[in-house]
Amino acid sequence: MSEIAKLQALEILDSRGNPTLAVTATLANGVTATAKVPSGASTGKREAVELRDGDKARYGGKGVLKAKGYVEGEIQNAVRGFNAHDQKGLDKKLCDLDGTPNKGRLGANAILGVSLAVAHAAAKDKGLPLYATLVDKPANLLPTPGLNVLNGGKHADSNVDFQEFMISPVGFPSFSEGLRAAVETFHTLKEVLHKKGYSTSVGDEGGFAPQLKSNEEPVELILEAIQKAGYKAGKDIVIMLDPAPSEFFENGNYVFAKSDKSKKTSAEMIALYKSWLKKYPEIWSLEDGMAEDDHDGWVALTKELGSQIQLVGDDNFVTNPEIFSKGIKDGIANAILIKLNQIGTVTETLDCIQMARDHGYGAVISHRSGETDDTSIADLAVAVGMGQIKTGSACRGERIAKYNRLLEIERELGSAAKYAGASIYKRWRG
């Protein structure tokens, strides 16, 4: 009775008002569950294909009716009767059915929608929460969140080139206490910006997006906010960066087109990071320090800084086990960003996380800049127990939904709940 009986897809909207898919899976016993697919803006070139209609008459070509058609047609026909509890088998079937290396035929949005909706239905069928069924031995570790309180780059209409400035509440006994401190700091940052006459409107991930004097000023402002909120930077709250430089890497140079129009070589970028780390020891994690096409830059960055801080690969690894495994061999990064829709199935996502664990890499479970109220990543983060999640700032409903889900899970786990806290930070900083 746990066989897949029906798949339905709906063209819904993401947090930027762009179409995306909601997929509902119904099992033969009547159990039904829905998953909603996110969408990135600063995407890696080698991400699995997000299928868009290209019909300019609808949503500027961004409609997903073709993907909806595949879910309800070809995919449904192929998986009807399949055991919902065999996630691996289902995901393999979906990949085989697509038949391309990058899910370019049916679309990673169609495939992930099905994969994730069935994962939810299987959990419901067992009467368990998703975090308890995603992996064989689920952890009970609440992740340390990275809250992206200042947005730049492609996520904001400002003059800051760097995309993400995150705060991570490491020095607290529980997830809820850590979240509270981070949220209070977010509110204090608003006051700090306001007093300086800066705009407090927000970007795609809910962080403030003011016009600033430099790419460095956000760090200064955040440090001020942490202190004014009554916390100690570097001890209670640390800073994570994601410059997302694939977006400003041009002809072998990093071009700060939004701020001072300067140009930097890979070596100069590394020197810049080194100078920041010296000045701001509160920075402990750097995601995408180098552009995805700057392989040599990545190797050099890892050699220079890999023993001092967490170096997270996002655009370069694209949650793809094959690409990630090559990166590990090449000595690139020491952690990976995990985004379900970069690869398109639950199983391949879990494979990537396992690969990280096996090779001593960290893994940060992540939202996309285009999100919905889907909270699967909160459950995923707890289940795999890698201790980290980034899912935006302390405003915008689609970000808050994930934090609220983590609060629920914390309550559900009760005294069994553990908080990753400083354990993630200590790994690099002793």
Single out the residue of 242, 282, 351, 374 in contact with ligand PGA (rule: CB under 6 A): 242
The residue among 42 and 144 lying less far from ligand PGA, judged by its C-beta, is 42
The one segment of 24-32, 90-98, 364-372, 412-420 that binds ligand PGA by CB under 6 A: 364-372
Contact 89, 4 (CB under 8 A): no
If binding is defined by CB under 5 A, does position 224 make contact with Zn ion?
no
The residue among 79 and 156 lying less far from ligand PGA, judged by its C-beta, is 156
Single out the residue of 282, 314, 371, 398 in contact with Zn ion (rule: CB under 5 A): 314
Contact 349, 338 (CB under 8 A): yes
Both tokens of 321, joined, read 């086990």
The residue among 242 and 398 lying less far from ligand PGA, judged by its C-beta, is 242
User: Going along 81-229, which residue ranges are E strands?
Assistant: 141-142, 144-151, 164-169
**Cβ of 99: how many Cβ atoms within 10 Å?**
10
C-alpha distances out from residue 337 to 297, 312, 340, 367, 378, Å: 18, 6, 10, 10, 14
If binding is defined by CB under 5 A, does position 410 make contact with Zn ion?
no
How far apart (Å, rounded) are the C-alpha atoms in residues 406 and 210? 29
Q: What does 40 interact with, of ligand PGA, Zn ion, none (CB < 5 to 8 A by kind)?
A: ligand PGA
How far apart (Å, rounded) are the C-alpha atoms in residues 125 and 170? 36
Q: What does 259 interact with, of Zn ion, ligand PGA, none (CB < 5 to 8 A by kind)?
A: none
Single out the residue of 5, 36, 40, 399 in contact with ligand PGA (rule: CB under 6 A): 40
Q: What does 418 interact with, of Zn ion, ligand PGA, none (CB < 5 to 8 A by kind)?
A: none
Q: What does 145 interact with, of ligand PGA, Zn ion, none (CB < 5 to 8 A by kind)?
A: none
User: CA triplet 372, 373, 377: central angle to 5 degrees?
Assistant: 90
SS3 91: helix
> b/e map of 189-225 (b: 16 or more CB within 10 Å)?
bbebbeeeebeeebbbbbbbbbebeebbbbbebbbbb
Single out the residue of 42, 115, 144, 159 in contact with ligand PGA (rule: CB under 6 A): 42
Structure-token match 């970007």, residue found: 203
Select which of 103, 154, 339, 418 is catalytic: 339
Which amino acid is it at 156?
Answer: A
Q: What does 410 interact with, of ligand PGA, Zn ion, none (CB < 5 to 8 A by kind)?
A: none
Site string for ligand PGA, 395-424 (x = CB under 6 A): ------------------------------
Both tokens of 158, joined, read 């400002």
How far apart (Å, rounded) are the C-alpha atoms in residues 415 and 403? 19
The residue length of the chain stands at 430
The residue among 113 and 129 lying less far from ligand PGA, judged by its C-beta, is 113
Query: Least distance to ligand PGA from the beta carbon of 162, Å?
Result: 11
Residue 339 is a catalytic residue: yes
Query: Least distance to ligand PGA from the beta carbon of 339, Å?
Result: 7
Residues 6+ apart with CB under 8 A from 413: 140, 142, 382
Site string for Zn ion, 238-277 (x = CB under 5 A): ----x-----------------------------------
Single out the residue of 12, 13, 28, 41 in contact with ligand PGA (rule: CB under 6 A): 41
If binding is defined by CB under 6 A, does position 20 make contact with ligand PGA?
no
Which amino acid is it at 392?
Answer: G
If binding is defined by CB under 5 A, does position 47 make contact with Zn ion?
no
Q: Do β-strands 237-242 and 164-169 pair in parallel, antiparallel, or remain unpaired?
A: antiparallel
If binding is defined by CB under 6 A, does position 50 make contact with ligand PGA?
no
If binding is defined by CB under 6 A, does position 244 make contact with ligand PGA?
yes
- The residue ranges that bind Zn ion (CB under 5 A) are 242, 287, 314
- Catalytic annotation, residues: 205, 339
